[in-house]
Amino acid sequence: MVANRHQQPIIKVFVVDDLRVVREKLKSVLQSHQDIEVIGMAIDGYNAIEQLAHLQPHIVLLDLDMPRLNGIETAQIIETRYPQIDVIVLSSYDDAKELSSLQPTCIKEYIIKDRIVVTIVEKIRSIYHTTALDRLAFEPNTATIDPPDNVVDFSRFTQGDSSKTSKFNADLATDFGTNRSAQFTSIAHTTLTRLNDWSDSAKELLDMMPLPWTRGLLYSLVICLGVAIPWACLYRMDEIGTARGRLEAKGNTIKRESDLENSVAVVKVYVKKGEVVKAGQTIMELDSKNVREQIAQSQLKIDGGQQRLNQLLLMKNQMGLGTNAQQQQNQAQLLEKQSQIAQAQQSIRNLDTNSRSQIAEKLAQLHQAEQALADRQSSYDLQKAEKLTQVRQAEQGTIAAQTNYTLAQNRLKDAQSEMRRYARLYQTGAIAEVKAKEVASLFQEKNQIFTQSIASLQQSKLQVTEQQENYRKLIQQTRSDIGQAKLRLKEQQEAYQGTIARSQSDLSQAKLRLTEQQRGSTSLAKGGNIAIIKTDQQLKEIESQIVTLKSEIDRDRAQNNFLTRQLEKYTIKANTDGTIFELPIDREGAVVQPKQLIAEIASNINGLVFKGEIPANQSESLRSSSGSGQTKSNIHKDVKLKFDEFPFESYDIVKGKLTWIAPNSKLTQVAPGVNVASYDIEVQLAQTCVKHEGACVPFRSGQPATAEVVIRNRRIIDFILDPFRKLRN
């Protein structure tokens, strides 16, 4: 009895591949067939497991090489959670050895991506219709459901003929490949145990199949084995190992770190990761406002110190001129006293020689006394003007000191207010403690300057007081001299009146006056020397202040030069020509810590190489038994590079040579709690750019890629026997 045909069933397919171009290509190929529907797609194993729970597809097209969770691990999870779903493995190369060693029973077929368009649709239909019988065996009321088209009917094998059962197993092995025969034989035995549950009409239909058809399948199997076994023993193929990594500069990169001692914010970033830079080119600029303010304050201090230095130099010159004038005045007074002494001596001689001439002599002396009084008055006016000038100069110095005091007081108040504000900010945690300490130290400096201004003001007041006292003494002394000159004039007049009667007395008085003139000359010389000594002391004090002020100006200039050099560190520049390999800080407003890596530059001199990691189970033949990491025969292996940014379907495959493999392995975490041993490798590229549409696109440092390394050349039979060898071991 023949079952009625129903509408052709829809095969639900779920695609899992990390490359978008592959997923879109598979979807386009499968959606062109009416009996196939792509119900979903995923980029990796984790995403696929999450969607399978509610999509429930018939077949999963699974990429073998994926990040985080590869195809074999994903297939094992599908086998455990969803045993009704069949899996077809897709790969860019023939990796049957790894697939056969794990043997997830849900994997029904293994297809190379280069042959997807040719075989994928037939494989999906074949697997779906083959496993549809198992689905019917597990579903209730199977007798009332018509099997789909092209489903093999197993009822003719229920007569207990063991030869038919073996023949059926051989047919299954011929249809799906010798490397999967054991798996499908198990499926066939499981199916045959359930044939007794079929209806009589189904059994009768199976018995109607002719015996020559079964014999023909057996002969076909023998012929295929006779051809396949010699072919597998003689034909050789490359065994490929896969490594994931990226392009890096050959040799070590140049790291640019922060040279500052404090954390600084980024003002502007001028480059991006992967860009080419020149030596001296600015990479980024840091916030240098604080340093610029310090430089401005230091410059103000230098300018203020220079002004005070100019004032002190002016005072020094003025005091030098005053000293010279005092010396000239003392010499003039001394000469005058000497002249008076000579006149007194001449008077005595005249009295001794000629008494007649006493009247004329006294008269001459009277005129001389009047002239001396006029000279004294003139000298008094000159000395008074000079002292007044010195007093005014001292008062001007006091005014300047008062101005400096007021300015220092205002700055001290500003610094005190700033210190209190930063102290409150530090207590609230808004700024660091070092910043508050810096403001406090600035307040101490302002306080010292204020103290110095107080001392300068007091010193200026003392100088004014001293000049005023000198002026007062000069007035008193000069008035005394004028009074004495008037007295001498009066004496001369009295002597003139009593010249005739008292010539002898006049002689005695003349001798007395001579003695007084000598004493006055000695006193005048001593007074002039004392004034010069005081002036010299003041001049030395001013010179000491000048030396101190020059040292302060030199210190401020040294600090200004230091801050200027520090300001250059806030502009980060490239040390050499190259490519920005790493740029941890790539946005404005980020905070740079001391000694933090700012940029890593790959030099363009050595070129680019591929650096990646290859699993330990794929690199056994690449490593030497001596433990050196590589041998002369194992380096320079052929390598094919596939870049994520350049799909090989459009850009072609880049070739290279294996130049280095690490001597020791390392553990890499591929999933939470899952670590895989791998080895670092280095591949030299055969070209510096990839050609596309007549243009050559240059490679950039940091581009991710997949390297396919030719591990060794093996026979096909070795791939088939490897699972049995492992099982035997």
What gap in Å lies between CA 342 and CA 662, rounded to an integer?
116
Q: What are 333-383's pLDDT values in tens digits? A: 788 878 878 887 777 777 777 666 667 677 777 788 788 888 878 888 888
User: Which residues does residue 689 pair with via DSSP β-bridges, in sequence order?
Assistant: 698
User: Nearest to residue 687, comparing CAs of 722, 652, 645, 728?
Assistant: 652
Per-residue three-class SS string for 61-88: EEECCCCCCCHHHHHHHHHHHCCCCEEE
CB neighbour list of residue 239: distance below 8 Å, 6 or more residues apart:
97, 621, 710, 711, 712, 713, 714
Q: What phi and psi, each to the nearest 5 degrees, are found at residue 209?
A: -70, 130
Q: What are 184-216's pLDDT values in tens digits? A: 334 334 443 444 444 555 555 445 555 566 667
DSSP-derived secondary structure for 326-346: HHHHHHHHHHHHHHHHHHHHH
Name the residue with tokens 């103000």: 300
What gap in Å lies between CA 615 and CA 76, rounded to an integer?
19
Question: Identity (one letter) of the amino acid at 330?
Answer: N
CB neighbour list of residue 318: distance below 8 Å, 6 or more residues apart:
393
Task: Give CA angle at 179 (174, 183), nearest 5°.
Answer: 85
Name the residue with tokens 């002292």: 387
Determine the pLDDT at residue 97: 53
Q: Is-contact 602 275, C-beta < 8 A?
A: no
Name the residue with tokens 């029973």: 105
User: Nearest to residue 341, comparing CAs of 521, 524, 484?
Assistant: 521
Q: Is-contact 334 525, C-beta < 8 A?
A: yes
Question: How many residues in total does the chain contain?
Answer: 729
CA distance readout (Å), 85 to 79, 517, 699: 8, 140, 42
Beta strand pairing status for 236-249 and 264-269? unpaired
Q: Where are the domains of the chain?
A: 1-149, 152-233, 240-251+606-728, 289-568
Name the residue with tokens 């600015």: 282
Fold of 289-568: Substrate Binding Domain Of Dnak; Chain:A; Domain 2 (1.20.1270)
Q: What phi and psi, each to the nearest 5 degrees, are found at residue 624?
A: -80, 150
Contacts 24+ apart (CB under 8 A), 224-232: 224/174, 225/178, 228/178, 229/717, 231/716, 232/715, 232/716, 232/717, 232/720
Residue 31 C-beta-side C-alpha neighbours within 13 Å: 11
What gap in Å lies between CA 300 and CA 285, rounded to an integer?
26
CB neighbour list of residue 19: distance below 8 Å, 6 or more residues apart:
63, 644, 647
What gap in Å lies between CA 560 and CA 305, rounded to an integer?
14
The residue ranges of DSSP E strands in 201-356, in sequence order, are 236-249, 254-257, 264-269, 276-277, 282-286
What gap in Å lies between CA 282 and CA 292, rounded to an integer?
19
User: Which residues does residue 260 pair with via DSSP β-bridges, in sequence order?
Assistant: none
Number of H helices, E strands in the chain: 15, 22
Question: Identity (one letter) of the amino acid at 396?
Answer: Q
DSSP-derived secondary structure for 34-67: TTEEEEEEESSHHHHHHHHHHH--SEEEEESS-S
DSSP-derived secondary structure for 294-308: HHHHHHHHHHHHHHH
Determine the pLDDT at residue 568: 80
Question: Rg of the chain's alpha carbons, rounded to an integer?
Answer: 57
Determine the pLDDT at residue 60: 92
Determine the pLDDT at residue 576: 75
The encoded tokens of residue 20 equal 């978008």
Other beta carbons within 10 Å of 303: 11
Sign of the CA dihedral with 171 first, then 174, 180, and 182 last: positive
Determine the pLDDT at residue 13: 93
Spans of the chain below 70 pLDDT: 1-8, 93-106, 114-115, 117-118, 132-215, 238, 251-253, 354-358, 360, 498-507, 603-606, 620-635, 649, 712-713
Determine the pLDDT at residue 59: 92
User: Nearest to residue 267, comparing CAs of 567, 566, 570, 563?
Assistant: 570
Q: Is-contact 247 699, C-beta < 8 A?
A: yes
What gap in Å lies between CA 608 and CA 705, rounded to an integer?
13
- Domain 1-149 sits in CATH at 3.40.50.2300
CB neighbour list of residue 237: distance below 8 Å, 6 or more residues apart:
94, 713, 714, 715, 716
Task: Give CA angle at 45 (43, 48), nearest 5°.
Answer: 75
Fold of 240-251+606-728: Elongation Factor Tu (Ef-tu); domain 3 (2.40.30)
The residue ranges of DSSP E strands in 107-166, in sequence order, are 107-112
The one-character DSSP state at 15 is: E
Question: Identity (one letter) of the amino acid at 65?
Answer: D
